[in-house]
Structure formats: structure tokens, C-alpha cells
């Protein structure tokens, strides 16, 4: 857990639209060690998925572009690589699970075909070898009777099963980094629990590093070692999980925390955070949280820097000077 | 669900059958002239006989045999031209839609300019330039019609490429070529099949028109279009020379269009405006 796998420095991914430049990922930096899980938390539209897509360099073209920064993966800068080199990394060393399992499999191919393809793209093994590997990997992700499932089409499978199939495609080449983009959001809670347990297990024996994109602090507490809270394209707070739960420091994190339902409190309304995140093409000049923050001061009209306030605990807020 | 259109299906099967077995079922050779038997009427007309059931033309050639052999030409041209159209149209549509950007702009402007030309005029110019020949007709028709395929397929691809499974394929590490061939293409097959059937009628009409204008399949080949043209001079005395080949064209085109409508409704209701 000490070996550095990924270092993202000042990553900027912008979308150039007719309404202006959308700064989906704005100056994001973080580190990830082997076997570690980093939670990427935030509301919808705050740049979590765009961060994930940027790491794989598959930001939707032509509107989206990575305009700056560095992504150093295992010692090499991914932004300097050619498309061909990236292709060899994708699926083999970095994999991403998308949010909706219902649409992330090709409807016209069987489950077997798609797992087969994921392996075949990166190997020269003979076909029969690949097929047996595909079956093995499906068994690994707890697909019951892979021999039968292999000839099923995606529409014949349940959501949980499809998400496990996508997982199987990911683990087939034993990647070093898995980006899981809300992989359990569209699954029901029991399936969700199973899936998370499976991920944890696989992580334990494969030293897989995971970036877990979610907006569910329950999952964060369960899965992650560290958390980065994103707001309007920026990381506003980053710390170890325990630290974030014990002393959340950014007003946004505090607000998110207080809107988690708690078992012991039976009565009263759940506090909510009023308003919407700002449109990413018309950000306020200072702190992006300016409009919704309860502690706004004069100082907040200038953008706050990300500063270390405790051991490995970073906060982007003026209140911690 | 709409019912299977039986009558159009029967018509198509019938014409395909006579096209395939033309040499065995036609009573005469389509080229054989018999100047003694010129302009014989069909058998149900006064003076007609069962020796020439649909009568004979101005050179004494048996009309039935020429219709039978003509179905061969019509279907052959239609199938080959559509195959070419499908390959060019689907290829360009997929490339243009998937790659987007400048490639898309250039390819689509070419398609637009092809579409802005009157089809027959364009085909006629090509034929005049290249000379009337079976292969030229096929190539000419595909050059005129590919743009319709390209446009529709491109539209389909545009929505398809935003789907998660395309992103997932990229994440797995597939190349663009691989994604276009294995992930996009199978998903547009429905649309392509519908388009092909709907355009089949068009191709037959364009071929018939070209032949009618003398720029299509050259005589003495028994193309339905040139047969209607030949019959024009005798329309007052021997109407069957024009009407019967015309009926054949109409029946086949109508049948294909009805089948195409039906296929479109069961395979892809989205395409209803095409």
C-alpha cells in the first residue's frame, strides 16, 4: 500500500460548448497508491465522471478536451502518450465501470462474446484458451453457471448480473487501476452489498487500486481509504475516511454529511443543502461554493487555494487560514 | 404488429422465380425475331393466339419471353446496385458519424451535393459520359443513391455512439476501426435492411427510366424500360407493348415498397419518415 501508482497533477478538462467553456475538471490533483481506494464524492455534474474519463483519455470528442496538467500512471505521463499506446493501457491496466449496467453491454452480442473480446483485444492466446479464461473470470465474479450464461444476450440478464459481467471484462486482464463510476447506483441494496463485497475481495488479492466515484457516504465509509470531495470541478476537501467523518472541514462536506439520514435520530426533517451547484460555464469568480455557503465572508470573493490543514488533510476554504 | 403482406410477397417470389429460371420457362428466345409475326396481339384479343400469349413486338419477338428475361435484368441491376449503395452508404455513414469533426463535414457536404442534384439528370449525365452498359448502369445508380443511405446511417450512428456500450468498448481498449465494424455495424443492420428494401423500388425505377431514355441497358437486351420506350410508336395500335412491361415495373416496385414498409414497421418504427 505504499507504492505510488497514479499521480494526477493540476488536471484540467474543459468542454467547449456554444454556451461557453465548461470547466468540468478544474485543477484537480491527487495521488493514489497500489491497493488503495479513493472515493470521489460530490453532487451530479461536479466533474467526477469527467475526471474518470480523463484518466482514460476518452473524454467525449470534439467538445471535451484535456487542456492541462499531468496524469502520471506508474511513472509515465499518460497525456504524452499516443492513442495507440493508450489503447494498450485501456482495459489492460486501467479499467472503468460505467454507471448504468443496462446500457454498457452491446445488445447484439452474447455475454460470452463480450468478455471474450475484452480478453482477446489484449492477448494472442488461441481461441479455446480465451473462452476458458472467459468462463473462469465469469465464475470469479460469481456468475452462476457461466457455461449457460455465456450464450445469453444482455437483455436476458438482470442488472446485477450485467454489472458483474462488466466487472469480469475489467478483471480479465488484471488491471492495476479500476475506476468505478457509481457502479451500484442502479442496483438494489442487497445486490449492491454483494457487488461491493466482491470488489473488496478482488482488491485484496490483486492489489488493485480503485477510484470509487459515488455520492453515497455509506459506500465511502465502507469501501474507501481516502475521500476527495469535488464541487464544481474542483477538489474542495481530501483526507482519510476517518478524518472526513470526524472533522469535515469544508462547509460543503459538512453540509453533505449532515444530510445523511441517521438511525438514532427519529424525528425532524433531514437537513438539506439549498440551491443547485453553479453552472460550470458561469462560475463565480471567487470560491465556487460562494452562493450556497453559510459562512460567506468578504474574503470568499477571491478563489481559495487547496491547503493542508492536518496530516494528509487538504481543504479549499479561506476559513482555515 | 402488422400482418405479413402476402400479396407483395407472392409477387416478389413469382418474379424472382421467373428471373432465376428464365431460360427454362420462357417459350422463345428474347432475341429471336420473326418478321412474319410482327405486332401480334395478346391471346385474349381478337387475332391473338396462345403461340404468343402476350403478343409480339415490332420485330416479331415474343413479349412474354422478353418480360421474363427482363425480370432478370431488373432484379440483377437492382440487387447489385443496392449492394454497392449499401456498402458505400453504410461505410461512409458509419465513418462520418463515428469520427465526426472535419471528416464528417467533408463527407456530408459531398452527400448533400449529390442529393441536391435531380437523380435522373445526374444518372443521365453519368451514362452519357460513360456510355450505356450494364456495369455502368449499376455503378451510376449507386453513385446517385448512396447519399441517402449515408445520411440515414450517419444519423443512426450519431445516437449510437453516445451509448454506454461504445464507451465501454473504448475502455476495454478496442480501436476505432474495431468499434465501427463490430459494435456499430451490427447495431445499424436493421436500419440498413429496411433502407435497402425501401430503395429497391427506386433503383428499379431509375434503371427503367434510364433504359426508357436510351441511356440504360442497350438493345437488344430486354430491359423493361427500353421495352416501354420501343412500344411508344405503336401505342395506338399495339398498346400491350407499352402497358405490359409498364405493369411489370409497377408490380415489382409496388411489391418491394409494401414489403419495405412492413419491414420498417416491425424492425424500426423510428424510421417512419424515411
Average pLDDT over chain A reads 87
- B55 within domain boundaries: no
How would residue A254 be classed by pLDDT, with cut points 50, 70 and 90?
confident
CB contact under 8 A, A107 and B187: yes
- Contact list in B for residue A60 (CB cut-off 8 A) is 162
How would residue B230 be classed by pLDDT, with cut points 50, 70 and 90?
confident
How would residue B270 be classed by pLDDT, with cut points 50, 70 and 90?
low
CATH number of the domain encompassing residue B134: 1.10.3720.10
pTM above 0.90, yes or no: no
Q: Which of B100, B103, B105, B171 would best serve as a mutation to test chain A binding (most A beta carbons within 10 A)? A: B171
What is the tens place of the pLDDT at every residue in A30-40? 999 998 999 99
Q: Does B100 touch chain A (CB under 8 A)?
A: yes
Of B101, B168, B187, nearest to A108 by CB-CB distance is: B187
Of A62, A106, A122, nearest to B173 by CB-CB distance is: A122
User: What would the mean pLDDT of B63-77 be, rounded to a whole number?
Assistant: 90
- Contact list in A for residue B163 (CB cut-off 8 A) is 103
Q: What is the pLDDT of residue B15?
A: 92
CB contact under 8 A, A58 and B170: yes
- Contact list in B for residue A89 (CB cut-off 8 A) is 173
Q: What angle do CA A122, A125, A130 make, to 5 degrees?
A: 85
Whether the predicted pLDDT of B30 surpasses 80: yes
How would residue B202 be classed by pLDDT, with cut points 50, 70 and 90?
confident
How many Cα atoms sit within 13 Å of B79 on the Cβ side?
8
Interface of B with A in 152-181 (CB under 8 A): 162-165, 167-175, 178
> How close B101 comes to chain A (CA, Å)?
7
DSSP characters for B81-144?
Answer: HHHHHHHHHHHHHHHHHHH-HHHHHHHHHHHHHHHTS-HHHHHHHHHHHH-S-HHHHHHHHHHH
Of A62, A88, A103, nearest to B164 by CB-CB distance is: A103
Whether the predicted pLDDT of A320 surpasses 90: no
Whether the predicted pLDDT of B1 surpasses 60: no
Range in A257-266, A306-315, B55-64, B198-207 the model is least confident about: A257-266
Among chain B residues, the shortest Cα distance to A175 is held by: B172
Q: Does B102 touch chain A (CB under 8 A)?
A: no
Q: What is the pLDDT of residue A265?
A: 66
What letters, b where the CB count within 10 A reaches 16 and e where it falls short, cover A237-269? bbbbbebbbeebbbbbbbbbeeeeeeeeeeeee
How would residue A124 be classed by pLDDT, with cut points 50, 70 and 90?
confident
- B49 within domain boundaries: no
What residues contact residue A259 under an 8 Å CB cut-off, 6+ apart?
A270, A271, A272, A273
What is the tens place of the pLDDT at every residue in A184-199? 887 888 888 888 998 8
How would residue B221 be classed by pLDDT, with cut points 50, 70 and 90?
confident
Straight-line distance from the first to the last Cα atom of chain A, in angstroms, rounded to the nearest whole number = 32
How far, in Å, are B77, B187, B238 from residue B26 at the CA level?
Answer: 20, 43, 22
How would residue B273 be classed by pLDDT, with cut points 50, 70 and 90?
low
What is the tens place of the pLDDT at every residue in B118-170? 888 888 888 889 888 888 899 989 988 999 999 999 999 999 988 889 999 99
* Rounded Cα–Cα distance for residues B271 and B274 (Å): 6
Instruction: Take residue A256 and report the three cell numbers written for it.
Output: 453533505
How would residue A262 be classed by pLDDT, with cut points 50, 70 and 90?
confident
Whether the predicted pLDDT of B274 surpasses 80: no
User: What would the mean pLDDT of B195-205 be, rounded to a whole number?
Assistant: 88
Instruction: Take residue B7 and report the three cell numbers written for it.
Output: 400479396
User: What would the mean pLDDT of A203-207 be, rounded to a whole number?
Assistant: 86
Q: Please give the residue that has the higher pLDDT: either B266 or B110.
A: B110
> How close B165 comes to chain A (CA, Å)?
4
Whole-number CA gyration radius for chain B: 22
CB contact under 8 A, A117 and B182: yes
In percent, how much of chain A has pLDDT > 90? 23
Residue listed under C-alpha cell 488479492:
A205
Q: What is the pLDDT of residue B254?
A: 93
Interface of A with B (CB under 8 A): 56, 58, 60-62, 87-92, 95-96, 98-100, 103-109, 117-118, 121-122, 166, 169
- Domain range for B169: 9-15+62-273
DSSP category for residue B62: B
What is the tens place of the pLDDT at every residue in B240-261? 889 999 999 999 999 999 998 8
* Rounded Cα–Cα distance for residues A80 and A129 (Å): 35
CB contact under 8 A, B163 and A122: no
Q: What angle do CA B137, B139, B140 make, to 5 degrees?
A: 60
CB contact under 8 A, A109 and B186: yes
How would residue B269 be classed by pLDDT, with cut points 50, 70 and 90?
low
User: What would the mean pLDDT of A138-146 be, rounded to a whole number?
Assistant: 86
What is the tens place of the pLDDT at every residue in A56-71? 998 887 788 899 899 9
Q: What is the pLDDT of residue B272?
A: 58
User: What would the mean pLDDT of B80-100 be, rounded to a whole number?
Assistant: 93
CB contact under 8 A, B170 and A95: no
- Contact list in A for residue B187 (CB cut-off 8 A) is 106-108
Instruction: Take residue A73 and report the three cell numbers written for it.
Output: 500512471
> How close A186 comes to chain B (CA, Å)?
14
CB distance B86 to B149 below 8 Å: yes
- Enter the ipTM: 0.84
How far, in Å, are B66, B134, B213, B237, B250 from residue B224 at the CA level?
Answer: 8, 14, 12, 20, 11
Pick the CATH number of A4-93+175-188+213-260+269-320 from 3.40.50.2000, 3.40.50.300, 3.30.590.10, 1.10.10.10: 3.40.50.300
Instruction: Take residue A55 and report the three cell numbers written for it.
Output: 484518466
User: What would the mean pLDDT of B15-25 be, rounded to a whole number?
Assistant: 91
What residues contact residue B224 under an 8 Å CB cut-off, 6+ apart?
B67, B70, B71, B73, B74, B208, B211, B245, B246, B248, B249
Domain boundaries, given as residue ranges, for chain A: 4-93+175-188+213-260+269-320, 100-174
Q: What is the pLDDT of residue A40?
A: 92
Q: Which of A55, A65, A102, A106 would best serve as a mutation to test chain B binding (most B beta carbons within 10 A)? A: A106
CB contact under 8 A, B171 and A58: yes
CB contact under 8 A, B172 and A169: yes
Q: Which of A50, A107, A108 would best serve as a mutation to test chain B binding (most B beta carbons within 10 A)? A: A108
Average pLDDT over chain B reads 88
Q: What is the pLDDT of residue A123?
A: 85
Q: What is the pLDDT of residue A278?
A: 77
How would residue A226 be classed by pLDDT, with cut points 50, 70 and 90?
very high
Residue listed under C-alpha cell 413469382:
B14
How would residue A173 be classed by pLDDT, with cut points 50, 70 and 90?
confident
Among chain B residues, the shortest Cα distance to A115 is held by: B172
Q: What is the pLDDT of residue A293?
A: 83
Whether the predicted pLDDT of A266 surpasses 70: no
Helices A189-206 and A159-171, packing angle to 10 deg: 10
Q: What is the pLDDT of residue B14?
A: 93
- Contact list in B for residue A99 (CB cut-off 8 A) is 164
> How close B167 comes to chain A (CA, Å)?
8
Q: What is the pLDDT of residue A281?
A: 74
- Contact list in A for residue B175 (CB cut-off 8 A) is 87
> How close A266 comes to chain B (CA, Å)?
40
In percent, how much of chain A has pLDDT > 70? 98
Amino acid at each position: 500500500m505504499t507504492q505510488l501508482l497514479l499521480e494526477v497533477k493540476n488536471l484540467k478538462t474543459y468542454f467547449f460548448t456554444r454556451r461557453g467553456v465548461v470547466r468540468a475538471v478544474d485543477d484537480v490533483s491527487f495521488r493514489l497508491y497500489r491497493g488503495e481506494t479513493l472515493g470521489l464524492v460530490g453532487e451530479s455534474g461536479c466533474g467526477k465522471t469527467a475526471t474518470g474519463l480523463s484518466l482514460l483519455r476518452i473524454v467525449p470528442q470534439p467538445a471535451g478536451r484535456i487542456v492541462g496538467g499531468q496524469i502520471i500512471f506508474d511513472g509515465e505521463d499518460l497525456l504524452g502518450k499516443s492513442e495507440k499506446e493508450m489503447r494498450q493501457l485501456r482495459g489492460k491496466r486501467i479499467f472503468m465501470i460505467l454507471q448504468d449496467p443496462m446500457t454498457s453491454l452491446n445488445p447484439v452480442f452474447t455475454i460470452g462474446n463480450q468478455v471474450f473480446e475484452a480478453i482477446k483485444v489484449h492477448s494472442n492466446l488461441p481461441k479455446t484458451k480465451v473462452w476458458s479464461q472467459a468462463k473462469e473470470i465469469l465464475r470469479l465474479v460469481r456468475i452462476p453457471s457461466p457455461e449457460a450464461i455465456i450464450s445469453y444476450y444482455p437483455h436476458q440478464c438482470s442488472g446485477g448480473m450485467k454489472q458483474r459481467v462488466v466487472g469480469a471484462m475489467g478483471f480479465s486482464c488484471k488491471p492495476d487501476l479500476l475506476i468505478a463510476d457509481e457502479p451500484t447506483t442502479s442496483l438494489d441494496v442487497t445486490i449492491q452489498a454483494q457487488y461491493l463485497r466482491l470488489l473488496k475481495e478482488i482488491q485484496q488479492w490483486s492489489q488493485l487500486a480503485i477510484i470509487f466515484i459515488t455520492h453515497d457516504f455509506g459506500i465511502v465509509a465502507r469501501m474507501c481509504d481516502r475521500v476527495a470531495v469535488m464541487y464544481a470541478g474542483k477538489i474542495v476537501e481530501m483526507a482519510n475516511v476517518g478524518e472526513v467523518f470526524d472533522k469535515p472541514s469544508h462547509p460543503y462536506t459538512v453540509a453533505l454529511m449532515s444530510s445523511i439520514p441517521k438511525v438514532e435520530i427519529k424525528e425532524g426533517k433531514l437537513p438539506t443543502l439549498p440551491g443547485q451547484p453553479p453552472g460550470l460555464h458561469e462560475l463565480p469568480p471567487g470560491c465556487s461554493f460562494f452562493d450556497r455557503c453559510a459562512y460567506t465572508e468578504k474574503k470568499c470573493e477571491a478563489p481559495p487555494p487547496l491547503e493542508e490543514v492536518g496530516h494528509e488533510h487538504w481543504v479549499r476554504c479561506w476559513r482555515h487560514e | 404488429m402488422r400482418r405479413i403482406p402476402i400479396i407483395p410477397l407472392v409477387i416478389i417470389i413469382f418474379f424472382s422465380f421467373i428471373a432465376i429460371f428464365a431460360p427454362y420457362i420462357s417459350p422463345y428466345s428474347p432475341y429471336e425475331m420473326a418478321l412474319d409475326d410482327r405486332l401480334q396481339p395478346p391471346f385474349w384479343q381478337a387475332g391473338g393466339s396462345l403461340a404468343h400469349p402476350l403478343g409480339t413486338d415490332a420485330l416479331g419477338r415474343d413479349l412474354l419471353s422478353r418480360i421474363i428475361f427482363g425480370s432478370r435484368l431488373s432484379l440483377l441491376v437492382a440487387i447489385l446496385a443496392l449492394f454497392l449503395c449499401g456498402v458505400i452508404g453504410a461505410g461512409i455513414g458509419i465513418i462520418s458519424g463515428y469520427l465526426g469533426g472535419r471528416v464528417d463535414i467533408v463527407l456530408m457536404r459531398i452527400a448533400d451535393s449529390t442529393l441536391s442534384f435531380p437523380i435522373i439528370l445526374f444518372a443521365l449525365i453519368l451514362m452519357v459520359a460513360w456510355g450505356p452498359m450494364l456495369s455502368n448502369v449499376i455503378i451510376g445508380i449507386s453513385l446517385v443513391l448512396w447519399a441517402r443511405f449515408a445520411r440515414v446511417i450517419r444519423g443512426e450512428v450519431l445516437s449510437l455512439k453516445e451509448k454506454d456500450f461504445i464507451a465501454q468498448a473504448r475502455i476495454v481498449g478496442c480501436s476505432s476501426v474495431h468499434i465501427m465494424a463490430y459494435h456499430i455495424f451490427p447495431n445499424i443492420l436493421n436500419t440498413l435492411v429496411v433502407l435497402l428494401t425501401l430503395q429497391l423500388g427506386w433503383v428499379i425505377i431509375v434503371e427503367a427510366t434510364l433504359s426508357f431514355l436510351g441511356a440504360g441497358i442497350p438493345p437488344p437486351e430486354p430491359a423493361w424500360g427500353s421495352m416501354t420506350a420501343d412500344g411508344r410508336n405503336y401505342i395506338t395500335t399495339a398498346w400491350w407493348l407499352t402497358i405490359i412491361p409498364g405493369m411489370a415495373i409497377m408490380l415489382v416496385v409496388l411489391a418491394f415498397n409494401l414489403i419495405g414498409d412492413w419491414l420498417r414497421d416491425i424492425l424500426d418504427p423510428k424510421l417512419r419518415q424515411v
